[in-house]
């Protein structure tokens, strides 16, 4: 329940992670975005396991306090939350008393959330295999918990996962709004089906390249709810070509 009720925080992080241009075919002709196949080196790949957090322990504790209050507000207004998220999809959620915070607390919550940064938390290993014309399979070999058994089909513009098949959503353009990660360009595939706060399916897979380091960034998020059965998790890795 706690992870699911952090939906608003995750929504804010997603806005910081990606700003999609729009759906369509993957052109691969952008000067700033390499085509996906060039970001998928065949073989065994050493990767950086990335995590998100605040550098200050005091700020981290304060954000946890605000999230706890936020959870109470959301728990009492779950049906309202589903409609509210739909209304402001892809945007930062404006303040509302149903969130369980005062205006001042919500402003503080947003400020602290904006300071969440991506940092390396460990090392891992994946394998990338070309399984067909325009098809690539990503498997975890060591250290990863979520990114595994992912099949990217560039001919169909889909990404198949253990939790459903995502359709191509569009290009990700580097933006100063990518506060958590730093600026990067890439591509996004999304599966989205949200009936209500107790029944929804949201899977997102992003692949891109950091502007500064030129490292490849891979972001995978799964949010599922079917009554009491819930999954709410994400994983981010980076690696050099």
The per-residue pLDDT for range 114-158, each reduced to its tens digit, is: 787 788 989 999 999 999 999 999 999 999 999 999 999 999 999
If one counts the domains in the chain, the total is 1
Token pair 């060591």 is at which residue? 142
Q: Going residue by residue through the chain (241 aa), what tens digit of pLDDT does each one get?
A: 333 334 444 444 444 444 444 444 555 445 678 999 999 999 999 999 998 777 778 888 888 888 888 878 877 887 888 788 778 766 778 899 998 999 999 999 888 877 877 889 899 999 999 999 999 999 999 999 999 999 999 999 999 999 999 999 989 888 777 777 888 999 999 998 877 667 778 899 999 999 999 999 999 999 888 877 888 888 999 999 9
- Classify residue 225 by burial, with Cβ atoms within 10 Å: 0-12, 13-18, 19+: buried
Q: Residue 39: CA atoms inside 13 Å, Cβ hemisphere, count?
A: 24
Q: Which domain holds residue 117?
A: 4-239
The per-residue pLDDT for range 224-237, each reduced to its tens digit, is: 888 778 888 889 99
Q: What confidence score (pLDDT) does residue 12 get?
A: 43
Q: Are residues 219 and 16 in contact, defined by beta-carbon separation less than 8 angstroms? A: no
């Amino acid at each position: 329940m706690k992870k699911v009720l952090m939906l608003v925080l995750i929504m804010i992080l997603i806005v910081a992670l990606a700003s999609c241009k729009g759906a369509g075919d993957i052109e691969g002709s952008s000067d700033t975005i390499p085509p996906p196949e060039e970001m998928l080196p065949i073989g065994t790949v050493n990767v950086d396991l990335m995590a998100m957090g605040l550098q200050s322990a005091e700020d981290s504790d304060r954000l946890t306090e605000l999230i706890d209050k936020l959870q109470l507000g959301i728990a009492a207004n779950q049906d309202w939350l589903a409609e509210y998220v739909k209304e402001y999809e892809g945007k930062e959620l404006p303040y509302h008393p149903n969130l369980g915070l005062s205006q001042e607390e919500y402003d503080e919550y947003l400020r602290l959330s904006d300071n969440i940064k991506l940092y390396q938390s460990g090392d891992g290993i994946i394998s990338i295999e070309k399984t067909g014309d325009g098809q690539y399979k990503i498997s975890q070999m060591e250290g990863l918990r979520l990114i595994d058994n992912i099949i990217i089909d560039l001919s169909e513009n889909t990404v198949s996962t253990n939790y459903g098949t995502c359709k191509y959503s569009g290009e990700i353009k580097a933006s100063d709004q990518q506060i958590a990660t730093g600026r990067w360009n890439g591509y996004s595939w999304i599966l989205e089906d949200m009936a209500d706060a107790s029944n929804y399916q949201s899977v997102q897979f992003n692949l891109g390249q950091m502007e500064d380091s030129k490292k490849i960034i891979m972001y995978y998020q799964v949010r599922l709810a079917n009554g009491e059965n819930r999954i709410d998790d994400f994983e981010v890795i980076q690696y050099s070509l």
